[in-house]
Amino acid sequence: MISRIDHIAIAVSDYDRAYRFFAELLGAVPGTSSRVDGMNYFWQNLYLGDLSRLELLRPTGPGSFLEGFLAKKEGGVHHITLQTPDILKAKAALEKSGIPYFGYHEYGGNIWKELFIHPKHAFGVLIQIAEFNADDWLAPSVRMPADSKFDVRKEADGCSITFAHPGGGTVSIGLSREEAVRLRDRLDAVL
């Protein structure tokens, strides 16, 4: 039902300070972002390393759903987003197990489908389950070109191989010359 943890959303009252901390100090790469006027909030995806993502959330005006969350604190983990390949199957599994959910929405055709499980039904954590193409939400600098699943680069003592990850982004591995030769031999044996 769940492919992976896609991101952890952190609600903050001081967005500029939080952005500097994650992007400038820790080196997170900014991805997509958007201001959602109807709900009075802004979100920004940040990409760390090969596969990890954070989402910064901040209120943009009165009436934001983040007001209560940030009323007595500067920030904190707001929710965890789990990616599913099929939101309707996930929804059916929750219903079959008697787990209540809320906020089922489909945005922009098939760009994003989501539902939420309240913290009282998920051990104190707000869970968002969503169906989407993970690369759609990443900066181009941290994803593979659409026409490629891998890239091989010569290194001083071997090579590096970068693969497109099914959860979006890339994952890389360095191989010594000997490891690269063993990999080539194994590929020859199975092809």
pLDDT in tens, 26-62: 999 898 899 999 999 999 999 887 668 899 999 999 9
More confident residue, 157 or 139: 157
Which superfamily does 4-137 belong to? Answer: 2,3-Dihydroxybiphenyl 1,2-Dioxygenase, domain 1 (3.10.180.10)
Cα 27 to Cα 139: distance, rounded to the nearest angstrom: 14
Phi, psi of 37 (to 5 degrees): -65, -40
CB atoms within 10 A of CB 125: 14
Which of 22-26, 77-81, 109-113 comes out lowest in average pLDDT? 109-113
| Predicted confidence (pLDDT) at residue 109 exceeds the cutoff of 80 | no
Predicted structure pTM score: 0.81
Strands, E assignment, 17-141? 29-36, 41-48, 52-59, 75-83, 102-107, 112-117, 127-131
Cα 159 to Cα 134: distance, rounded to the nearest angstrom: 27
pLDDT of residue 85: 93
Q: Are 66 and 18 in contact (CB under 8 A)?
A: no
Q: What is the largest CA-CA distance in the chain?
A: 64
92 Cβ partners below 8 Å, 6+ apart? none
Ordered by start, the domain boundaries in the chain are: 4-137, 144-190
Q: Are 169 and 51 in contact (CB under 8 A)?
A: yes
